Amino acid sequence: MRVERAQQALQECGADALLVSSNVNLLYMAGQIINGYVYVPITGQAILFVRRPKGIEGANVSYIRKPEDIPAILAERGVAAPSKLAFEADFMSYSEYTRVAGCFADTELVNGSGILRSLRAVKSEYELDMMRESARKHDMVYAQISEMYHKGMSDVELSAAIESAGRKLGSLGIFRIGGSSMEIFGGSILAGENADAPSPYDFALGGAGMHPSLPIGANGTVLEPEMAIMVDMGSNFTGYMTDMSRVFAVEKITNPLALRAHQVSIDIQNEICKVAKPGVQAKALYELAYSIVEKEGLKEYFMGHNQQAGFMGHGVGIEINELPVLAPRSRDILCKGMAFAMEPKFVIPGVGAVGTENTYIVTEDGLERITHFPQEIQII
Amino acid sequence: MRVERAQQALQECGADALLVSSNVNLLYMAGQIINGYVYVPITGQAILFVRRPKGIEGANVSYIRKPEDIPAILAERGVAAPSKLAFEADFMSYSEYTRVAGCFADTELVNGSGILRSLRAVKSEYELDMMRESARKHDMVYAQISEMYHKGMSDVELSAAIESAGRKLGSLGIFRIGGSSMEIFGGSILAGENADAPSPYDFALGGAGMHPSLPIGANGTVLEPEMAIMVDMGSNFTGYMTDMSRVFAVEKITNPLALRAHQVSIDIQNEICKVAKPGVQAKALYELAYSIVEKEGLKEYFMGHNQQAGFMGHGVGIEINELPVLAPRSRDILCKGMAFAMEPKFVIPGVGAVGTENTYIVTEDGLERITHFPQEIQII
């Protein structure tokens, strides 16, 4: 079915084949990670060109040593050389591109990354069930957080405890992010002022991290009363990720601005749930959020304070940053089967990051929230 | 000093500037991760072109919104446009390449990935100290493994316990691997027959993993007597990784072939330590190892049984797979300051993976082993 959808997309863009090469898209198209390629002709069966592992069987599997082996195998299989080949230009390195282009001398190569991004944005029922399962486990991990806390604990120690709880429940651990400049381990916990430390990465919020080699998230801050402790830890139990942030506090948070901003984040999501449905523009959701933020006078704290992010939501699936993007210039339109996270967050100087993040599925009628852990600030 | 070494390498290859764009190489050249580029002209100061984070100061820092901003800033700074620009062709996506190439219309772009790979292969004393520190913590984590074990434990549970111990000692968690097709979480534990499951990834050994979305390492095998339990978990405490594998066994392993092969792995490393020094070819080390393997009649088990790897060692540093490569066709020559892992392993059907892996530093006189945990099979 995924191959058929890819073939339809090829028809729409006038290409006659798609060469899939990234692990995430190989997983998507072939149902497993291989070292090799999936070749999707505009009609007929997709072909798996496999370097490794040994032992994959099927009429549509051909073993190769190098991409240069592909044209001869296509010819043997009676598949005509493509005149216009879509490939993963946003992913494939220039070096690999030159080799692939050398295999298809009379072929025009065009960027097929957008095709795959659009396909993956709309999930099947099977994929949505994988996401619901990850969300269910995600809830179970967050439900253990209050027991993990002990006096004097640092953000990093809390992170390690959450990671460990996830692994015990079957988390695969791996956190997949699109884009070569993005990196993170496990997720992010931002306690107090660290929420305002700018990061080079394109996540919603920053954090200094523990070391210059990974400047994101927890930085060793000891958790104390009146700090907002934003927990935004990953969840990948099924190959499909979910995204959820919650705020915890040791004993109490009393700062009125922080308490109000936290509630506004929940209100924004509730307001968006009233209007979001198939056909609605993703940017309209951002605009609705922003109009509430402006009305509440919280603009300077929205999506960061020292450094502000330009989006407040993003698709999730095999990777944590898929389509749609909820941002002012997004061209994405909601479709049934999309899954995305909304994270209207605020960074309040002296307190930290507040607000919640939830993963939603676009249904025929609106949004289904799949992350159910209570949204109120959790006292630990 | 790194900039000076890069400038010398540019001179040798006839390029007049180097554009650094990958996180690992930005970290290497700038000492921190930025979203942006480092531009190294053949003479003079390197320039940091930064998109994020906010707040980096220095005469050699220019903020940009997009790569297209670079030429005008170079002109303002009085830096001539390069006639031959080395860039990270093995890393940069084709899409980004087309944008960068568009910025330098009269410039020839050449592949600079090899320059950076060669530079990073030879570590400074500071970098080697970072590696020794990671190795010291690596030893401390492995020393806790026997206490972690409980009857009925699975390989995945043991992995989670080791990960958690590492995080408590300050591990950054992140496991950096070069090459877009490589993925792993935490490292690998191979218990019994799972060591013989082929993987799509280019690691020394395989393992089925827990899920088709990450087919590597531990697969849920319950640890039992007479199984070889190979622990090959990552260690990144300083931005610099070390690599170490050890074999554990519940109560006992009595299979004579497995016991002998384990000792041969240690012997191979000891023999190599007698001859390895600056000027020796990396392939000669592989050949020496292979000659011992042949003499011992262990060829069919070397570096896997069902699927065999074509190397038995690799450089380590910021990433787990740097130069030199210890493989039959390697052109690398040992230099003082290199750091590499040797892992002559054997997969014995019915028992599992045996042998050890250690990280070594090339000194003036030979090899310094920096991973010190005992090499004998550890009974737990």
Beta bridge mates, B347: B353
Identity of the residue numbered B278: P
CA A68/CA B217 separation, integer angstroms: 30
Average pLDDT score over residue span A116-138:
98
CA A87/CA B94 separation, integer angstroms: 10
Could you read off the pLDDT of B28-53 as tens digits, one per residue?
Answer: 999 999 999 999 999 999 999 999 99
SS3 readout for A51-68: EECCCCCCCCEEECCCHH
Contacts for B322 with CB less than 8 Å, ≥ 6 apart: B117, B120, B121, B178, B314, B315, B316, B340
Query: Would you place residue B303 in the very low, low, confident or very high pLDDT band (cuts 50, 70, 90)?
Result: very high
CA B69/CA B36 separation, integer angstroms: 11
Could you read off the pLDDT of A332-353 as tens digits, one per residue?
Answer: 999 999 999 999 999 999 999 9
CA B50/CA B46 separation, integer angstroms: 13
Helix-then-strand count for chain B, H and E: 10, 19
Chain B contact set for A52 (CB, 8 A): 198-202, 307
Please tell me if residue A159 touches chain B, with a CB cutoff of 8 Å: yes
- For the record, the structure tokens of A109 come out as 């190569």
Is the distance from CB of B16 to CB of B10 less than 8 angstroms?
yes
Dihedral sign, Cα of residue B70, residue B75, residue B78, residue B81: positive
Could you read off the pLDDT of B121-160 as tens digits, one per residue?
Answer: 999 999 999 999 999 999 999 999 999 999 999 999 999 9
CA dihedral B124, B130, B133, B135 (to 10 degrees): -80
Strands (E), B178-337: 187-191, 229-233, 235-236, 241-242, 246-249, 313-315, 322-326
- For the record, the structure tokens of A129 come out as 């069930």
Chain A contact set for B159 (CB, 8 A): 167
> Which among B23, B32, B164 has the least Cβ separation from residue A183?
B23
Chain A interface mutation, best of B26, B57, B94, highest count of A Cβ atoms under 10 Å: B94
Contacts for B32 with CB less than 8 Å, ≥ 6 apart: A200, A212, A215, B26
CA A233/CA A231 separation, integer angstroms: 6
Query: Is cis: bond before B200, omega within 30 of 0?
Result: no
Does the structure show a pLDDT above 90 at B1? no
**Which residue intervals of B276-316 are DSSP H helices?**
282-295
- Matching residue, tokens 């009628």: A365
Could you read off the pLDDT of A350-372 as tens digits, one per residue?
Answer: 999 999 999 999 999 999 999 99
Indicate yes or no: CB of A53 within 8 angstroms of CB of B199.
yes
Indicate yes or no: CB of A167 within 8 angstroms of CB of B173.
no
Q: How far is CA B42 from CA A267, B25, B121, B232, in A?
A: 56, 17, 21, 41
Interface of B with A in 346-375 (CB under 8 A): none
Report the Cα–Cα distance between both ends of chain A, in Å, rounded. Answer: 47
Is the distance from CB of B352 to CB of B227 less than 8 angstroms?
yes
Indicate yes or no: CB of B52 within 8 angstroms of CB of A94.
no
SS3 state of residue A292 = helix
Is the distance from CB of A50 to CB of A26 less than 8 angstroms?
no
Closest residue of B to A199, CA-based? Answer: B53
Does the model's ipTM exceed the 0.90 cut? yes
Closest residue of B to A217, CA-based? Answer: B172
CA A343/CA A358 separation, integer angstroms: 7
pLDDT at B152: 98
Identity of the residue numbered A48: L
CA B286/CA B298 separation, integer angstroms: 15
> Which among A173, A181, A199 has the least Cβ separation from residue B186?
A173
Identity of the residue numbered B158: L
**Alpha-carbon Rg for chain A in angstroms:** 22
- For the record, the structure tokens of A347 come out as 């960074």
pLDDT at A313: 98
**Alpha-carbon Rg for chain B in angstroms:** 22
Which helix (H) or strand (E) covers residue B27, if one does? Answer: helix B23-30
Phi, psi values for residue B346, rounded to 5°: -135, 140
> Which among A95, A157, A198 has the least Cβ separation from residue B55?
A198
DSSP A175: -
Could you read off the pLDDT of A183-221 as tens digits, one per residue?
Answer: 999 999 999 999 999 999 999 999 999 999 999 999 999
Query: Would you place residue B26 in the very low, low, confident or very high pLDDT band (cuts 50, 70, 90)?
Result: very high
pLDDT at A69: 98
Query: Would you place residue A248 in the very low, low, confident or very high pLDDT band (cuts 50, 70, 90)?
Result: very high
CA dihedral A363, A368, A371, A373 (to 10 degrees): -170
Q: What is the pTM of this model?
A: 0.97
CA B144/CA A317 separation, integer angstroms: 36
